[in-house]
Amino acid sequence: KAGVTQTPRYLIKTRGQQVTLSCSPISGHRSVSWYQQTPGQGLQFLFEYFSETQRNKGNFPGRFSGRQFSNSRSEMNVSTLELGDSALYLCASRPGLSTNEKLFFGSGTQLSVL
């Protein structure tokens, strides 16, 4: 069974631009969550989607948004990029919200904002 797939692996953008990151969960997994990882901050929760609905949200500004499609694939969008948005963005999937606590992670998208 294929793992969690994130594309692209690397991305370079400039301030003010917007970016869209993609995450394909493990087949059969309906929950997708996103995390921002920066040195010294660890992983910070962005949001989680289940059945195309946002179920949980972290403390990030409205520039960070996401969505989930009917096939459970998810996209994360960041508008008006700032230098501080440079980070590794990790996506994780799990079968559901109440059936399994284990997260399966992708290899992330490394975003650099210049």
Partner 1 sequence: AQTVTQSQPEMSVQEAETVTLSCTYDTSESNYYLFWYKQPPSRQMILVIRQEAYKQQNATENRFSVNFQKAAKSFSLKISDSQLGDTAMYFCAFMLRQGGGYQKVTFGTGTKLQVIP
If the CB atoms of residues 18 and 54 are measured against partner 1, the closer one turns out to be 54
CA distance 40 to 51: 33
Tokens (6 digits) for 107: 């290899």
Minimum CB–partner distance for residue 104 and partner 1 (Å): 8
Minimum CB–partner distance for residue 67 and partner 1 (Å): 18
If the CB atoms of residues 9 and 15 are measured against partner 1, the closer one turns out to be 9
Q: In sequence order, which residues have a C-beta less than 8 Å from that of residue 56 and are 6 or more positions away?
A: 33, 45, 47, 48
Q: Could you list the residues that contact partner 1 (CB under 8 A)?
A: 3, 33, 35, 40-45, 48, 56, 58, 88, 90, 92, 97-98, 100-103, 105-108, 110
CA distance 87 to 73: 21
Minimum CB–partner distance for residue 52 and partner 1 (Å): 17
Query: Is 62:78 a contact under the CB 8 Å cutoff?
Result: no
If the CB atoms of residues 16 and 61 are measured against partner 1, the closer one turns out to be 61
